Amino acid sequence: MSGALLVAGTHSDAGKSVVVAGLCRWLAREGVRVVPFKAQNMALNSYVTREGAEIGRAQAAQAAAALVEPEVAMNPVLLKPSAERRTQVIVRGKPWATASARGYQGLKQDLLPVVLEALDSLRRRFEVVICEGAGSPAEINLRPYDLANMGLARAARLPVLLVGDIDRGGLFASLYGTLALLSPEDQALVGGFLVNKFRGDPAVLAPGLDLLRQLTGRPFFGTLPYAPGLELDGEDSLALDAPRGTRPPLGGDVLRVAVARLGRISNFTDFDALACEPGVSVSFTTSAPEILAADLAVLPGTKATVADLAGLRARGLDRAFAERARLGLPVLGICGGYQMLGGRILDGVESGVAEVRGLGLLPVETVFEEEKLLARSAGQAPGFGNFEVRGYEIRHGRVRRSGGDPVFVFDDSDEGCRVDATAGTSWHGVLESDGFRRRFLQWVAEVRGLEWLPGETPFAAAREERLERLGDLVAENVDREALMRLVAGGAPGSLPVVSSRLVGQPAGREADQGSLASGGATRMESGEAAVSFPAAAASAGGDEREDRC
C-alpha cells in the first residue's frame, strides 16, 4: 500500500506524538515500510542523526517505532527558543537563522518548499508517511503561512485525523470547535476523529460520539484508553509537570535525583534512563533545599546558558550546588550545566554577553563559537568501571579543561571533567549506556552510604517494550481497515462543511490576509446565532510556546 496521513490535535499535548509513534509501530509490524514526519517542530529536546543533523527528539523516537534510522527529512524545520521572544531556526538539521516570533512568520514562505521537498523525498522512498501536526490547526492567526497543519495538508493533499484528549475535558467542544474554525477547503481534508486517554465506561461515551458524527458527518476511528507510562520522549517542558513513578528498589534504599529545572532546559530526556532503574526517584525542581538534600544533584542542558545561570543565582541554587561541592556530595553537569559548573563563560553567540563568571566548581572555561557542534560520540569511562559510553553533542560552547580528571576518554583525547564528587560532560545521552549508568549510580550510593542495587533490564529494551505497547494500543482500539482507507484514498469527497465558520477567513496563504488583519470586524455564524468581535482579537498572538510559531 501507499499513502500518507496528517495527525493533528485539538491543542498542544493532545497526544499527537504518541499516536504517530503507535501508528508507526503498528504499521511496521504489519510489514508496511512506514516513516514519521513533522514539518515544523518547536522543542529544546533534540537529537543528532548519523549525518550530523539536528532534529526533534520525538521524531527520533517515532523513527524507532517505525524501525527505521532517524534522518533529517523527518523534521526539516526545528525551532529552539533561546530567549523570551527569540528562537533559533534549524533548517535541514543546521542553524539557519535567529528570529522573533513575529519575524519568523515572514520566513515561512521560504521554508514551505523545504518542507514539501523533505515530505516528497520520504513519500518516494517509503510506502506510508505518518505526519504529525503542531499545536492546533485552528490557530487562525497563524493559518496564512502555516507549515505544519492545514497548510501542509492542503499543499500535499493529506487526509487529516484529528485527535482530542478526553482526559482534559471538553472533548466534544474541542473537536467540533476545531473543525468549525477551519475554512471549507481545510475542512474537506479532515477525515475523522480519534479519542485519546479515555478512562471509564465506553457506554457512557457512546452517545456523545454518535451525536458528533451526526453534527459533523465524520466518523470516529477509535478510542485509545488511558495508559500511563507510555509517554514518548518529551519535547515540551509541560512533560516535567507530569508525576513520575519510582520503581521499587532492589536494595534497602532509594536514590533521590534532583534535576535543576532551568528556564530553557534542554534534552531533559537524558534522565529517562535513570527513572527506569529500580529504586531511583527523579524530580525536576527549582528548590534549593531539594537540590541540597538529594543524593545526586544535576545541572542539565540548556539553550540559554548565561540567562539560566542568572536564574540559578536568583533562586539561590548556586549556593546549594556550591555547598554540595564543599560537602563532597555528588553533582553532575551536562552540556550547558557543565559549562555553568566551570569558571569563565565567554559567549558572544547566544547571549551576546562577552564574559560571565560560572560557579567555579570545576577547572574549565567555555568559549562559544558561531558554528554549532553536532556529532555522535563514544568512549570509555575510566573512573566508572571503564565501561563503554555513547552519546551525542549539540552545542556552540567549546569547553577547555585546565585541571581535574577527564570523565571519558577516546582515541587520543578526553572529554569532561571531574573533581572529587563533582563531574561534568558535554555529551548528552550517556546515561543510556547501561554499564556506565549503573556504575555511576553505584558510586553515588557509595558516597551517600546507601544500600542501592541496579537493575538488569537494558534501557533500550525498556524503550522498545514501551513502543510495542503503543503498537498494541493502536491495533486493539483503532478501526484499522477504515484508517487504512483514509491513508490510501484520502478524505472522502462528500464530507459536509460544519456551519460555524469565520466569514472571510483566509483559506490559505494564497488568500487575502487582510481579512484578518484589517481593523474591521469578523463575524462568526453558528446556526441562527451570530457573534461579532474585533478582527484584532482574532489575530492576536497567544501563548508562543510549543509549535505555535
pLDDT score for 240: 63
Q: Which of 437, 436, 415 is nearest to 426 (CA)?
A: 415
Average pLDDT, the chain: 88
Return the H-helix or E-strand segment holding 368: strand 364-381
Q: pLDDT band at 283, cuts 50/70/90? A: very high
Residue 534 has pLDDT above 50, yes or no: no
Residue 14, pLDDT score: 87
> 327 CB contacts (<8 Å, ≥6 apart)?
none
Considering the domain 251-454 in this protein, what is its CATH number? 3.40.50.880
Domain 3-231+466-539 is classified in which CATH homologous superfamily? P-loop containing nucleotide triphosphate hydrolases (3.40.50.300)
What pLDDT is recorded for position 532? 28
pLDDT for 87 equals 87
Mean local confidence (pLDDT), 461-468:
94
More confident residue, 494 or 253: 253
CATH topology identical between 3-231+466-539 and 251-454: yes
Q: Which amino acid is at 378?
A: A
pLDDT of residue 2: 80
Question: Which region holds residue 500: left if phi is over 0, alpha if psi is between -120 and 50, else beta?
Answer: beta
* Cβ(425)–Cβ(415) below 8 Å: yes
- Phi, psi at residue 88, to the nearest 5°? -85, 130
pLDDT band of residue 526 (cuts 50, 70, 90) is very low
The pLDDT score that the predictor gives to residue 236 is 55
Q: What pLDDT shows up at residue 548? A: 45
- Which residues partner with 91 through β-bridges? 77, 94
pLDDT band for position 519 (cuts 50, 70, 90): very low
Q: What is the pLDDT of residue 531?
A: 28
Contacts of 119 (CB under 8 A, 6+ apart): 4, 37, 39, 73, 129, 131, 152, 156
Predicted pLDDT at 352: 75
Higher pLDDT, 266 or 99: 266
pLDDT of residue 543: 35
What is the tens place of the pLDDT at every residue in 401-431? 999 999 999 998 999 999 999 999 999 999 9
Confidence check: pLDDT of 487 > 60: yes
d(CA 161, CA 4): 11
pLDDT tens profile 180-201: 999 999 999 999 999 999 998 8
Domain boundaries, the chain: 3-231+466-539, 251-454
Q: Has residue 13 got a pLDDT over 90? A: no
What is the predicted pLDDT for the residue at 530? 31
Active-site annotation, residues:
335, 428
Give the chain's radius of gyration (CA, Å).
24
At 145, is the pLDDT very low, low, confident or very high (cuts 50, 70, 90)?
confident
pLDDT > 70 in the chain, percent: 87
Averaged pLDDT for residues 268-274: 92
pLDDT, tens only, 306-334? 999 999 999 999 999 999 999 999 999 99
Ramachandran area for residue 533 (φ above 0: left; ψ -120 to 50: alpha; else beta) = beta
**Mean pLDDT lowest among 109-113, 297-301, 524-528:** 524-528
pLDDT at position 517, please? Answer: 30
Q: Which of 10-14, 194-198, 214-218, 290-294 has the lowest mean pLDDT?
A: 10-14
- Residue 241: its pLDDT value, please? 62
Q: Indicate the SS3 state at residue 452.
A: coil
More confident residue, 502 or 287: 287
Round to the nearest angstrom and report the end-to-end CA distance of the chain: 34
- Taking the C-alpha atoms of residue 397 and residue 22, their distance in angstroms, rounded to an integer, is 37
Residue 82, pLDDT > 90, answer no
pLDDT at 67 > cutoff 50: yes
Gap between the Cα atoms of 545 and 269, Å rounded: 19
pLDDT at 527: 33
Query: Are 7 and 20 in contact, with CB atoms under 8 Å apart?
Result: yes
Calculate mean pLDDT across residues 342-355.
87
115, pLDDT greater than 80: yes
The pLDDT assigned to 83 comes to: 67
Confidence band for 108, pLDDT divided at 50, 70 and 90? confident
The mean pLDDT of 142-148, rounded to a whole number, is 90
Q: Which of 460-464, 499-503, 522-526 has the least mean pLDDT?
A: 522-526
User: In the predicted model, is pLDDT for residue 547 greater than 60?
Assistant: no
**Interval 246-256 mean pLDDT:** 94
